Homo-oligomer: A and B are copies of this chain.
Amino acid sequence: MRSATKILLDESEAPRRWYNLIPDLPEPPPPVLHPVTHQPVGPDDLAPLFPMALILQEVTTDRYVDIPDEVAEIYRLWRPSPLYRAHRLERALDTPARIYYKYEGVSPSGSHKPNTAVPQVFYNAQDGIRKLTTETGAGQWGSALAFACGLFDVDCEIWQVRASYDGKPYRRSMMETFGATVHPSPSDRTESGRKILADDPDTPGSLGIAISEAVEVAATHDDTRYALGSVLNHVLLHQTIIGEEALVQLAQAGETPDLLVGCTGGGSNFGGLMFPFLREKWAGRMSPVVRAVEPTACPSLTRGTYAYDFGDTAGTTPLMKMHTLGHDFIPDPIHAGGLRYHGMSPLISHLYEEKEIEAIAKPQSECFAAGVLFARTEGIVPAPEPTHALAAAIEEALRCKESGEEKVILTALCGHGHLDLPAYGAYLAGEIVDKDWADADVQAELAAALAKLPAMST
């Protein structure tokens, strides 16, 4: 009898606290600065957009935050999520490595995003908020927030980038099925949207424009707030439920990890899995290598600059010190839409700067090849985002085949690819082309974006 394929936890074994990395950091992270005064922001600066409970979680120095009962009860719709041993992938690679994946595709919207959408809506609902606004590009975050709002009877208004609204009708239908109202962005419902439409009625839109519209509506209505699906400390805090479960599951399998690998866009899936393992590493209980994988088309860690920059394209958010490609860098339209963000979570950036984590970049053709191999062996069609982590896991497993090392590799499979299947169709039809990083146009575009970083001493 071979060892188990799925390591499941009973609901009674579910972690009851989120883990806050900040007090355990060897060095404290730099403060967030006001976009105008360049002074550290205080809670009042953020109050128009977020409820105080989340603002306090953003800056707390407590090592643990209790998960409210109401949130824990909803988590039980899909959590604890399964940890899989990739027996069939290992055999296909003929590797002595043992590969595990923590699968978040079992959630209602099919990714890790509901882990933070649910508590965000809960804290807003507790404050009497009647509506949340947000933007969505790939659609994972919009779907998760739509689901969570429905549970707490909070209205959800989503600006979906026009190109995505037209090209991803399945995502829009999912958001509407969960009860959300979805507008194409730019829309005629906001000042910023109308301005863009007046200039260019046929614009495909952008995430930056959609953020502006969602923030504008939240900022101008008392009963409405805004929600963000990645980057911020409180978002990564909520996602640590992934790593806390995986720690228990891996221990039940009798394993200690040698390599942890996850994809990074804004950093929430990566931080969610890795933070509890970093705590264990710092406590001397294990010593895994922790590796981030980003697309070569949007390589904020491996090619960006560590500097203060805006979170949005329009340059209206507080300034965060992070690895950035410049807030008006527009990545190529690769299929892993969730990884197309110019910056990186300040906490992940700080860990990278402190050499607590590694980072590499992968072209999407290699990632889709990994995704197809994974689907044909393990049966799950992965979202394009986690295929980056799978490609890196496979690379390491093949190194183990050469060296004979029996490494234990744990990877974050943060979502399924059911709503991304046309991207697989394009890959199988040979339509996926990678731009080389030596491409002069791309380098020039990046240099121009970096040149526009806010001028300040960092």
Contacts and interface: CB of A to CB of B under 8 A. Distances in A.
Interface stretch (A158-166, A172-180, A184-192, A339-347): A172-180
A289 interface: no
Contacts of A88: 77, 151
Nearest to A105: B106
A315 interface: no
B422 A170 contact: yes
A421 B421 CA distance: 13
Contacts of A332: none
A425 B173 contact: yes
A147 interface: yes
Interface of A: 2, 4-6, 8, 10-11, 73, 76-78, 88, 106-108, 110, 114, 147, 150-151, 169-174, 176-179, 372, 375-381, 416, 418-419, 421-422, 424-425, 428
Nearest to A417: B177
A76 B1 CA distance: 12
A422 B177 CA distance: 10
Contact of A177 (B5, B110, B378, B421): B421
A263 to B, nearest CB: 19
A15 B79 CA distance: 24
A110 B151 CA distance: 24
A150 to B, nearest CB: 5
20 contacts: A4-B11, A5-B76, A5-B77, A6-B11, A6-B76, A8-B8, A106-B106, A108-B381, A147-B379, A169-B421, A170-B170, A170-B422, A172-B425, A173-B421, A173-B424, A177-B372, A177-B381, A177-B425, A177-B428, A178-B376
Contact of A174 (B78, B110, B381): B381
A334 to B, nearest CB: 17
B176 A424 contact: yes
B178 A375 contact: yes
Contact of A375 (B5, B177, B419): B177
Contacts of A418: 110, 170, 174, 416, 418-419
Nearest to A106: B106
A56 to B, nearest CB: 28
A8 B10 contact: yes
Most B CB within 10 A of own CB, among A174, A379, A416, A419: A379
Contacts of A8: 8, 10
Given A106-B106, A376-B178, A376-B179, A73 B428 contact: no
